[in-house]
Amino acid sequence: MLATMVLAGLLAATTTTEDAARPDVLIADFEGPDYGGWNATGDAFGEAPARGTLPGQMTVEGYRGEGLVNSFRGGDDATGELISPPFRIERKALNFLIGGGGWAGETCLDLLVDGRVVRSAAGPNRESGGSERLRWDAWDVSDLQGKEATLRVVDRRKGGWGHINVDHIVQTDAPRLPARASKAIALTHRYLSIPVKTGAPKVRARILDDAGKILREFDVELAPPGVEPDFLAFSDLEAQKGKTLTVRVDELEDAKALDRIGQSDADSQGTELYKEPLRPQFHFTSRRGWLNDPNGLVWQDGEYHLFYQHNPFGWGWGNMHWGHAVSPDLVRWRELPIALYPHQYGDWAFSGSAVVDHRNTSGFQKGDEPPIVAAYTSTGRGECLVFSNDRGRTWTEFEGNPVVKHEGRDPRLVWYAPGKHWVMAVYDEGAEPKRQSIDFYTSPDLKAWTFASRLDGFYECPDLIELAVDGDPSKTLWVVYAADGKYKLGTFDGKTFTPTSGPEKLAFRHGNFYAAQTFSDEPKGRCVQVGWANGVTFPGAPFNQQMSLPAELTLRTTPDGPRLFAEPVPELKELRAGSCEFSRTPLEPGAKNPLDRASHRLLSFSPRSRLQIPISSKSVKDIGRAEDYDREACEIELTFRPGAAKFLELDLLGTPLIYDVERQDVVCKQVRTFVPQVDGVVRLHVFVDKGSVEAFANGGRTTISVADLPAVAEPSLGIAAKGGTVMLEKLTVHRLRSAWEAGPSR
């Protein structure tokens, strides 16, 4: 195996004026409809270059143009080779973009002369997490000039990072190797502030202490010199105050980008935090950076704890930490410092859960209060435990980690009272034969776990809950669901889940909703669920993604048997700041919109709300100014009889929601779901926030969550009947104040 050769000799070599002026020679840019003479074998490369990211792959970035070599076709288990036509080496170096797996000799680009590998380069990734970004690399081939050669892209690896990405191979006299840059900082404040520009080249940054030990290591889209950052990311280094730290980046095209790294005693950017134009008013968002799966939902001593998957250094997925927020009421959240940091770069803190160990079965308790114990997936080690004796403010890692090691992730902890033991429901998978399952383990003390059983057919982020049917504690069923929210009902004896609801999974939540979890130790005895509203994006904002509204789950008898219902928690009513109500109002086709009065009485629209945002654009530069966008938050409760009408249409401040009477469907953008009339009546409970709509139908039997930044000139509320008269039994509109109005204090 040959590593990329050091180019010191080439860089130092004297270059003649004639040589310096020689133009680059393009070998391949992979922009054509096929590989253009390159020969592909196996099943990894297909018959033509990929057009970016392939199905099931993390977002591929950093390639040139539209096409590239990407051997992820069919996933990481596909293998093959791609061999170029022969060419003559005519320059001193070969530049190329490379990414993917870092397995020397298995996921690599080879240069062959006389059939022998004389240079080889692999991608940067071997551990879980990582980045699909291609980076420049180069070979010194000055000693090979004049020789005939071929290039070979190799994918012989199966499993994690078993693929290779290559693009834009060029012969050149100017090798392209980004230089290492560093900056020494005498730390006098708690935080380092790091300027981030979404879409800038992603680099790996390290913060080193005065002895050279890595304190933080992460990928970041560092704002280039002269470019205004989109936001500042903050790294908490309180324990290092008074010391001199070094920020080092190994692949930086302009070292001046480090000059704007500063210091601060607060991890906030100005006075407008939580007041940004795109900030949701009552859905939880992180102050900045990326957010996904809710983790560790638990209540203790007057506080609901919401942990979540978090990238504090970027608008997109990556650098997985556990963010942390607390609330007294599930509505007003106060964001705390990061709870869990990655064990090291590439060993990320993936999803998990938390419980209060009331009986101190773990022995972790110090003091009078029982500890919070969290289980999470350390991507490089397995399922790990951490515990806190100060209400989740600081965390200690269990010295015996990992407690479970397997091919899965996302442990959910549950106390099984009849057996007086703990249960871990955790996702697991197998390759031969391909399997996706929830595995159940048991433990007396949270530290030593024994495999008990397996339930096939579920994918990641499992939850396990027991609910009373119709509120009767003598009639309970257990519920198992995973990331997509589809569930089965059954019995559970502390070791094995036995389905009773039939072979097919049941669904009641639709749209932008994923990886939900319920709170442990909920003080009112409720089962409260929060999900990730995946795909609710905020282009141009310093934050990205949001949580769904907290909803209480219940099991109720229906003609189809017991089914899950989800209703928004009543604490949300505290946000109501004015209401307008209509009762027993017939709505005829073409009638004047009765909600005009509600719009003008309750909702005020600033001039900036007249500007349009092209919501189909994923590019920050294309959406215009985020500060020109506004949409007020409101809540609508509607009970109606469709009668002979064909449709009832709601205009939710620019977002249409339609009830299709014939099909008995609710339709909102891309989401369509069955909502049958009950005794001729349909009930809708709708929440409209900046960036999304959530609707609960017929008491929560069906729910939808829809991402939307409406492109309208004058957002308003509207309601109309089509094809017949609709009887509005009751229609109430509430204006909602922001949950951030008081500003969540530290």
Residue pLDDT, tens place only, 83-127: 999 999 999 999 999 999 999 999 999 999 999 999 999 998 887
Whether 744 is covered by a domain: the verdict is: no
Tens digit of pLDDT for each residue in 402-453?
999 999 999 999 999 999 999 999 999 987 778 999 999 999 999 999 999 9
In 385-427, alpha helices (H): none
Structure tokens at 723: 């094809």
Strand 382-388 and strand 396-397: pairing? antiparallel
Whether 320 is covered by a domain: the verdict is: yes
In 490-623, alpha helices (H): 596-602
Q: Name the more confident of 193 and 251.
A: 193
- Residues 490, 359 share a domain: yes
Is pLDDT at 35 greater than 70 in this prediction? Answer: yes
Is pLDDT at 4 greater than 90 in this prediction? Answer: no
Tens digit of pLDDT for each residue in 722-745?
999 999 999 999 999 999 864 444
Full domain range(s) for residue 109: 8-172
Taking the C-alpha atoms of residue 718 and residue 600, their distance in angstroms, rounded to an integer, is 12
| Closest by CA position to 423, among listed 504, 496, 499 | 496
- Residues 343, 208 share a domain: no
- Residues 732, 618 share a domain: yes
pLDDT level of residue 621 (50, 70, 90 thresholds): very low
| Closest by CA position to 262, among listed 293, 296, 223, 210 | 223
Output the average pLDDT for the chain.
89
CB distance 78 to 68 below 8 Å: no
Residue with tokens 């940067």: 124
Tens digit of pLDDT for each residue in 358-411?
999 999 999 999 999 999 999 999 999 999 999 999 999 999 999 999 999 999
Please state the separation of Cα 739 from the chain's center in Å.
23
> What was the pLDDT predicted at 1?
33
Taking CA atoms, 346 is separated from 127, 350, 400, in Å, by 5, 11, 21
DSSP state of 486: -
Structure tokens at 739: 């949950």
Whether 109 is covered by a domain: the verdict is: yes
| Closest by CA position to 245, among listed 214, 267, 203, 202 | 214
| Closest by CA position to 462, among listed 518, 379, 513 | 518
Q: Between vectors from CA 467 to CA 464 and to CA 471, what angle results, nearest 5°?
A: 170
Tens digit of pLDDT for each residue in 313-368?
999 999 999 999 999 999 999 999 999 999 999 899 999 999 999 999 999 999 99
| Closest by CA position to 404, among listed 412, 414, 396, 395 | 412
Q: Taking the CA atoms of the chain, what radius of gyration do you get in angstroms? A: 28
- Residues 498, 368 share a domain: yes
Tens digit of pLDDT for each residue in 594-614?
676 566 555 553 333 222 222
- Residues 154, 85 share a domain: yes
- Residues 430, 374 share a domain: yes
Taking the C-alpha atoms of residue 142 and residue 26, their distance in angstroms, rounded to an integer, is 17
Tell me the β-bridge partners of 109. 121, 153
CATH of the domain at 18: 2.60.120
Taking the C-alpha atoms of residue 60 and residue 71, their distance in angstroms, rounded to an integer, is 12
Taking the C-alpha atoms of residue 339 and residue 284, their distance in angstroms, rounded to an integer, is 17
Please state the separation of Cα 624 from the chain's center in Å.
24
- Residue-by-residue DSSP string for 144-187: GTT-EEEEEEEE---STT--EEEEEEEEESS---PEEEEEEEE-
- Residue-by-residue DSSP string for 521-551: T-TTS--EEEEE-TT---TTSSEE--BPPPE
- Residues 68, 122 share a domain: yes
Q: Name the more confident of 18 and 651.
A: 651
DSSP state of 700: G
Taking the C-alpha atoms of residue 280 and residue 742, their distance in angstroms, rounded to an integer, is 15
- Residues 590, 731 share a domain: yes
CATH of the domain at 456: 2.115.10.20
CB distance 341 to 246 below 8 Å: no
Q: Between vectors from CA 221 to CA 220 and to CA 223, what angle results, nearest 5°?
A: 125
Strand 191-196 and strand 349-356: pairing? unpaired
| Closest by CA position to 454, among listed 408, 402, 507, 501 | 408
> To 10 degrees, the CA torsion angle through 323, 326, 327, 330?
40
Q: Is 37 left (phi over 0), alpha (psi -120 to 50) or beta?
A: left
Whether 519 is covered by a domain: the verdict is: yes
- Residues 132, 112 share a domain: yes
DSSP state of 704: E
Taking the C-alpha atoms of residue 547 and residue 739, their distance in angstroms, rounded to an integer, is 14
Whether 108 is covered by a domain: the verdict is: yes
Domain edge (last residue) among 526, 544, 568: 568
CB-based burial label for 524 (10 Å; 0-12, 13-18, 19+): exposed
Is pLDDT at 281 greater than 70 in this prediction? Answer: yes
- Residues 516, 653 share a domain: no
Catalytically active residues are 293
- Residues 118, 232 share a domain: no
Strands (E), 573-663: 576-587, 634-641, 647-652, 655-660
Taking the C-alpha atoms of residue 283 and residue 276, their distance in angstroms, rounded to an integer, is 14
Taking CA atoms, 712 is separated from 236, 279, 525, 614, in Å, by 41, 18, 43, 10
Whether 273 is covered by a domain: the verdict is: no
What's the domain count of the chain? 4
Taking the C-alpha atoms of residue 415 and residue 417, their distance in angstroms, rounded to an integer, is 6
593 Cβ contact list (under 8 Å, min separation 6): 718, 719, 720
Average pLDDT (587-599) is 73
Residue with tokens 């997925």: 317
Amino acid at 656: P
- Residues 664, 555 share a domain: no
Domain edge (last residue) among 120, 141, 172: 172
> What was the pLDDT predicted at 596?
65
Tens digit of pLDDT for each residue in 499-514?
999 899 999 999 999 9
Domain edge (last residue) among 264, 298, 313: 264
> What was the pLDDT predicted at 598?
60
Whether 283 is covered by a domain: the verdict is: no
Whether 746 is covered by a domain: the verdict is: no
Assign 284 to helix, strand or coil. Answer: coil
